[in-house]
Structure 1
């Protein structure tokens, strides 16, 4: 019997592109299955095995979860300078625990990397990245990898995305921390090479600075790889090209998907594909500056977060596609990429929206999603036609 093919016409609403048709095979029918619930706004997940994973709760703890038995265990010894969980009182607070990542040689060294909002009494908070040894469900030997001061009383846009590149280096996104553009200094934070905020860093796994990092000048903060970042969270590596992609939050629209390039300036707040919260804000002109354009941007607010490239076998039509969850519209997007260009886009689960924080793949290729809710969930995305 011939394989049936369903033709689906999608309106491409990013980058000002026109309507486009793509083919979706009838053997692809994604459905959701809740695996674990009662999580406190889960932010990140990394797999220890097919059944066990570490999960960071933005408003809670670092957990070890068993996806088969549904059991959860709190990992002890988290750094004591973690900010207090005041989000339950004030929903505007973005602080908490963010990314959790395993070292590529975790089986031999038991190193994990964590990003979180760290506090300093009387000063406020900042984004911090640490390395720790996971031993007997406890963190030991904690070492600071990056502290993106200054500590301020702005509780927004920490960033906190972490990935290991194909070069074995650690790539970290740090947000610029401001809520309103009108509060920008004369030299905007994300453009100021002497300010740690609003940048993407490239570091050795021990926190030292690689010798082949781009040169931003003698006065620049050590470790900077790219500048002009507002609130990037998701960061991931393409499985074939080995290029690094990241998501970026805009203000009034302006959400983006970007390709990371050494020494690039992504423009914030001088240029944006959206608008400003402070409608009277006029950005300065920086002489001689050139800016990298996004690969994709939406013309509505999506709030893209923990993206990934799919390499599993359950959805053969999706292989090497970029999956991007969104907080604002509770969506999950699938992008087909050719030669670093997005050729088509599909928005999934439009009839079942939920704030989506992260998509991740298990060692055997199963696809999971974290929902950003008071009753947060680990959701398995399955192919219902198999």
Structure 2
């Protein structure tokens, strides 16, 4: 079993069962929510073109350009035609749609963006796909496939789709394992199979080519592979102070995690988990000589952590360089204080005002925003109401 993560100091205790989390509660900072834009269809990601203009991906809708001042929305034309249909309007268990929208590091000069989404093939199902495109006159042009994580399946779960650029200029992509029940795992589980593109994290050049210094998993490993043993990672981000990359991971019955990404690491799914299995009779195989990497943090209740980020703004001085992690299941927002790659304290925010929270993001001027995962999805500004 993975080791339990203990914190080193407390001013309050939360949790249940075996786990007691030591939580630092701020007395000077009073975060409040202000709705900036609403009527979004389950927004998934946000990218700042400027302080007042953003791109927003709707999981159940379109790629939009949104003005935070006028509230006006404009659909970006030319999205790839293989985007999955909106059958989730009928069946809410479908996780397909548009996922991350990410600006190229040199966007000001090349207007390039990256998009992850659930792509479809006739009579075959869907798979996670990443494309690069140029944004020109509110349309996508020069679309190029960067990663296609087949096989195409008639499962509509756990696509992953999180993306970030590292300080090395490389593109990091999370791909989920796509299964709903562990009992359906093949003899070599998907996330442990080096020949299978699913259940992995990839590291690529901006054009999709494979960096020479990627870890070597052997000749039969899928190209671009950087880490394995992933179930359903969505959020991935860079720690500005250190350049380290962190990602969130969904468990099944509990087992939600925060991990630090390491080259060549195996995060264990489904051989080991900090939670339980959805298929309670499932017995994972033994993989000889496998070395698994423990999470930095895990919860013993379901949080469904998503689009995390490190805060570097000035509005919340006590939060400087802290990790913020939103959650879908409990609808909360978590703040972690980190020192030397160790979580020293945790605070759960907005516990009296819960809403399914998909992503937190920071504007160029350091303002803090959150996307809510609702039929009437919102862009929420998180402001500091001081004493």
Query: Could you say whether these structures have the same fold, taking a TM-score greater than 0.5 normalized by the shorter chain as the test?
Result: yes
1:99-152 Cα offsets, whole Å, 9 max, x none, are: 000001000000000000000001000000000000000000000000000000
For structure 1, the residue ranges without an aligned partner over 5 or more in a row are 1-6
In the other structure, the counterpart of 2:384 is: 383
| Alignment of 1:10 onto 2:29 | no
Q: 1:327 to 1:244 in 2, by over 3 A?
A: same
| Alignment of 1:143 onto 2:144 | yes
1:175-230 Cα offsets, whole Å, 9 max, x none, are: 00000000000000000000000000000000000000000000000100000000
In the other structure, the counterpart of 2:175 is: 174
In the other structure, the counterpart of 1:332 is: 333
In the other structure, the counterpart of 2:229 is: 228
The 8 Å contact of residues 360 and 369 in structure 1, kept in 2 or not, is answered as yes
**Structure 1: how far apart are the matches of 2:39 and 2:358?**
15
**Structure 2: how far apart are the matches of 1:306 and 1:132?**
22
In the other structure, the counterpart of 1:123 is: 124
**Structure 2: how far apart are the matches of 1:8 and 1:361?**
28
In the other structure, the counterpart of 1:112 is: 113
| Alignment of 1:153 onto 2:154 | yes
Q: 1:327 to 1:19 in 2, by over 3 A?
A: closer
The SS at the match of 2:188 is coil
TM-score (norm 2): 0.96
TM-score (norm 1): 0.96
**Structure 1: how far apart are the matches of 2:322 and 2:196?**
35
**Structure 2: how far apart are the matches of 1:140 and 1:122?**
27
1:310-343 Cα offsets, whole Å, 9 max, x none, are: 0000000000000000000000000000000001
In the other structure, the counterpart of 2:246 is: 245
Paired residues for 1:186-205 under 5 Å: 186-205=187-206
The 8 Å contact of residues 129 and 149 in structure 2, kept in 1 or not, is answered as yes
In the other structure, the counterpart of 2:72 is: 71
1:231-269 Cα offsets, whole Å, 9 max, x none, are: 000000001000000000000000000000000000000
The SS at the match of 2:44 is strand
1:284-330 Cα offsets, whole Å, 9 max, x none, are: 00001010000000000000000000000000000000000000000
For structure 2, the residue ranges without an aligned partner over 5 or more in a row are 1-8
**Structure 1: how far apart are the matches of 2:381 and 2:140?**
28
User: How many corresponding residue pairs?
Assistant: 379
> C-alpha root-mean-square deviation of aligned residues, in Å?
1.4
In the other structure, the counterpart of 1:3 is: none
**Structure 2: how far apart are the matches of 1:204 and 1:259?**
21
In the other structure, the counterpart of 1:212 is: 213
In the other structure, the counterpart of 1:308 is: 309
**Structure 1: how far apart are the matches of 2:209 and 2:17?**
38
* TM superposition shift of 1:18: 4.4
* TM superposition shift of 1:11: 2.0
Q: 1:19 to 1:162 in 2, by over 3 A?
A: closer
Paired residues for 1:298-377 under 5 Å: 298-377=299-378
**Structure 1: how far apart are the matches of 2:108 and 2:138?**
15
Q: 1:118 to 1:68 in 2, by over 3 A?
A: same
* TM superposition shift of 1:384: 1.0
**Structure 1: how far apart are the matches of 2:95 and 2:73?**
24
**Structure 2: how far apart are the matches of 1:345 and 1:242?**
21
In the other structure, the counterpart of 2:24 is: 22
Q: 1:15 to 1:359 in 2, by over 3 A?
A: farther
The 8 Å contact of residues 237 and 309 in structure 1, kept in 2 or not, is answered as yes
In the other structure, the counterpart of 2:185 is: 184
**Structure 2: how far apart are the matches of 1:60 and 1:41?**
8
The 8 Å contact of residues 65 and 73 in structure 2, kept in 1 or not, is answered as yes
**Structure 2: how far apart are the matches of 1:166 and 1:184?**
36
**Structure 2: how far apart are the matches of 1:236 and 1:359?**
11
Q: 1:17 to 1:142 in 2, by over 3 A?
A: same
